[in-house]
Structure 1
Amino acid sequence: MNVRPVATALCSLLFASALAAPSLAQDVIKIGDLNSYKAMAANMEPYRKGMELAVDEINAQGGLLGKKLKVISRDDGANPGEAVRMAEELRLNEKVDFLTGTILSHVGLAVTDYARQHKIFFLASAPLTDKIIWDSGNRYTFRLRTTTYSYAAALVPYASSLKRKRWAFVYPNYEYGQSAVATFKALLKQAQPDVEFVADVAPPLGKIDAGAVVEALTDAKPDAVFNALFGADLAKFVRDGSTRGFFGKVAVVSPMTGEPEYLDPLKDEAPVGWYVTGYPWYAIKTPEHTAFLDAYQKRYNDYPRIASLVGYMTIEAVAAGIKKAGSTDSEKLATAFEGLQFGTPVGNVTFRALDHQATFGLYVGPLGLKDGKGVMTSNEYIDGSKLLPSDDEVRKLRKAATQ
């Protein structure tokens, strides 16, 4: 047997494979998504489904720039240090083209700083802290979800119309909760100068003692409450407050409580009469949202949550940015995203050049019960561009926008 031709053929095959490997890699646009997949599982499963739906729709149409999209996910451990470590792993080992994701505010801030240091594009999908776009804003970071400021701005007109004088506050003791309360206080004081702030109750995130919280609020004798709790903390607070008869004595306004992730687990214990922001997927009848709803239900045999919408819109946004930039290069993406407008299931959204904030709006309205579960009994959609401070105020806040 003559082994030389066989060896030669084998070497040629290996060499051809080595040349083909980079070519195959170049046929994929890699999106590195960081998120609290374990710690915030109720949010992250719908988020992932929304992303998958959008990715598959785009890939079925031929992808972008002649390439298919691929999401490579990493769990940030709900921890800023772990998020930075995972961002480094995605950038250096997985060779992702850019970063997306995060939901917790302190984690989003850590990745924002990582993007600045390493000059890699980062679309912050869902963290709510406004430091991401203002105090810590940078060239490479853009934020999709509505600002914490906007949540307060959407709720204050209703809150001030109540003419309640004594307000108490309950919120998770970390960046989002602190910012939400500070902004709401400032805006309410402008709208109703005689208002009094009688109590701040701030349990650690995920570690609420609901009985002690309700007792502290009762002792303060408020006639209205601003609640910024969410998730399991919210459920415990609602159940204990209802059991003790606390909510029958006060008016409550509450960001995010109308979102299915937080409202649905309460079932018939949903807090009737609270005025909230939320996502009434069952009541949005625009053609764009109907198409999204139909596609989502057909694929998953389930209804979308707000995280489903955010995941879907994250991919829509990066697709629009890549098309405009004609590239996945971070410098070109950062330039393309300034002023970028794209269509979504809830209408057109623009990333403002001034501060890189998207004009994703909010649905507001009261809660009630229907068929044994909580729903927003009516709702109004407020465009995000109408819920932000003046451009001059933003310029003062955005200290690092050009870094």
Structure 2
Amino acid sequence: MAVVRRKGARRTRRRDSIAVGCLYPLTGRAARYGHDSIVGAEMAAEEVNASGGVLGRELRLLFADDRSDPTYAVKVAQRYVLEDRVDFLMGVVSSAVALAVTQVSRHFGVVFVGTDHASARLTLEAFQPYYFRVTNNTMQSMRAGVLYLARRPWRRFFYIGPDYEYGHRQWQDFREYLTRVVPDAQVLGAVWPKLFERDYRPFLRAVLEAKPEVLVHGFWGGDTIAFLEQAAEVGLFGEVQVVSFDAGGNYEVFEALGDRVPAGLILSARHHNNFPLTEANRRFVEGFWRRARRYPSYTAHGAYVGVHFIARAVERAGSLDPEDVVRAGEGLVLPTPRDREGFCSWIRPVDHQVVQEMYIGRTQPCDALPPARFLLGDWEVIPAEELLPTEEEVRRIRALAAAAPGGHAGS
């Protein structure tokens, strides 16, 4: 669908409310993430509106299914901008979808708040000034994983992940940092099942034949569940240490597998229901449970934080003008339920990426959040300042992307 109007041609609408056009997967294997995101976003909007709204205006959320399809999501985003005349775009779980939607944001000059996709490309090579991300990216999670593994004796690594942007970017970020931090590491190979693959056994056989000490997996959601079930069938966990640092430790995986979760997996996620044990995290988790009668997946937290980011940025800007909001969002202090006492998340001006600590744990029996029978424990905290590239590195990455054939880097 061709874009027919630029940002100056958008019809204005009455400013008695602030409209946020949210895109999430509401059907298919990723639907749980979309529905949890709606609950989390609505929780935050109710908090904002109950305290008087934003600049005296009600925050109004619109939701649509992006079908995890970049082409379809672009049509939804354009409809939000041209017909619903939203003030913000928000959401998106798939990195491939986000890379498409960010172009709509750039074209129309509408701020896009990414709440759950993770490819570092969005804040590096494909960065554009109207984009902000309020959850960790693949570079943060993979660097955290490398730092965790560097303190262990393992040196033979293999990767398995979905064959699209998110999977490939995890492996790129992990491999590049691994060679810097662990120069004697051996990378034995990688295999690439398609997104929403049904049969992982041929790929698992390739892993076992390579005989790595550590298998890094890059799956999420239903793909993680299917992968772990089939990995157990072929005896993988007795042969290889399995790790996953971006989405492998999501609550819904533990919920689905119950007591079939292997003990000793090394995992992380963008939010943990049982860590940190702060009042803010407890209120968020219990508040979600009261509304949904289930515990949240990580996407609920991302959507919750995204709404609060919009409210704080607009209040700081004193305006709904996108240029003012962008300036206000840069350097914004953003408290989140996942923050430990003494640390507060914030937005880096150079890349509009949230700065956060990462938490890595091991699976162990725990029935505190049923129906899950296993959760993560034995936590290690990776400091936020060790997880992102320097401003000089950011500019160098963007310059290389702009110089590549057919490439361009965002401003």
Q: TM-score, normalised by structure 1?
A: 0.89
CA contact under 8 A between 2:272 and 2:338: conserved in structure 1? no
SS at match of 1:290: helix
Partner of 1:18: none
Partner of 2:255: 264
Partners of 2:255 and 2:166 lie apart in 1 by 22
Partner of 1:353: 349
Partners of 1:275 and 1:194 lie apart in 2 by 21
Cα 1:216–1:154 shift into 2, 3 Å = same
Partners of 2:143 and 2:200 lie apart in 1 by 27
Partner of 1:197: 187
1:111-136 Cα distance to aligned partner (Å, 9 max, x none): 11111122111111111111111101
Partners of 2:251 and 2:173 lie apart in 1 by 25
**TM-aligned CA deviation for residue 402 of structure 1:** 6.0
Partner of 1:11: none
Partner of 1:338: 330
1:388 aligns with 2:388: yes
CA contact under 8 A between 2:44 and 2:307: conserved in structure 1? yes
SS at match of 1:268: helix
1:2-401 alignment runs, 5 A limit:
25-39=14-28, 40-255=30-245, 256-278=247-269, 279-347=271-339, 348-371=344-367, 373-399=373-399
For structure 1, list consecutive stretches of 5 or more residues without a partner in the other structure. Answer: 1-21
Deviating more after overlay: 278-287 vs 167-176: 278-287
Report % sequence identity. Answer: 29
For structure 2, list consecutive stretches of 5 or more residues without a partner in the other structure. Answer: 1-10, 400-407
**TM-aligned CA deviation for residue 383 of structure 1:** 4.8
Partner AA of 1:267 in structure 2: G
**TM-aligned CA deviation for residue 92 of structure 1:** 0.9
Q: TM-score, normalised by structure 2?
A: 0.88
Partners of 2:195 and 2:207 lie apart in 1 by 18
SS at match of 1:282: coil
SS at match of 1:379: strand
Partners of 2:205 and 2:48 lie apart in 1 by 52
**TM-aligned CA deviation for residue 42 of structure 1:** 1.4
Partner of 2:404: none
Partners of 1:383 and 1:221 lie apart in 2 by 32
Partners of 1:343 and 1:280 lie apart in 2 by 16
Partners of 1:139 and 1:401 lie apart in 2 by 11
1:185-238 Cα distance to aligned partner (Å, 9 max, x none): 122222222222222111001024221121111111222111112222222221
Partner AA of 1:397 in structure 2: I
Higher Rg? 1
**TM-aligned CA deviation for residue 298 of structure 1:** 3.4
Deviating more after overlay: 101-110 vs 324-333: 324-333
1:268-315 Cα distance to aligned partner (Å, 9 max, x none): 111211111134313432122233234333333432321111111011
CA contact under 8 A between 1:355 and 1:398: conserved in structure 2? no
Partner AA of 1:80 in structure 2: P
SS at match of 1:367: strand
Cα 1:76–1:165 shift into 2, 3 Å = same
Partner AA of 1:361 in structure 2: E
Partner AA of 1:373 in structure 2: R
**TM-aligned CA deviation for residue 377 of structure 1:** 2.0
SS at match of 1:229: coil
Partners of 1:89 and 1:175 lie apart in 2 by 25
SS at match of 1:215: helix
CA RMSD of aligned residues (A): 2.0
Partners of 1:259 and 1:374 lie apart in 2 by 11
**TM-aligned CA deviation for residue 389 of structure 1:** 1.6
Partner AA of 2:266 in structure 1: Y
Partners of 1:325 and 1:36 lie apart in 2 by 31
CA contact under 8 A between 1:280 and 1:375: conserved in structure 2? no
Partners of 1:302 and 1:120 lie apart in 2 by 34
Deviating more after overlay: 40-49 vs 370-379: 370-379
Deviating more after overlay: 55-64 vs 33-42: 33-42
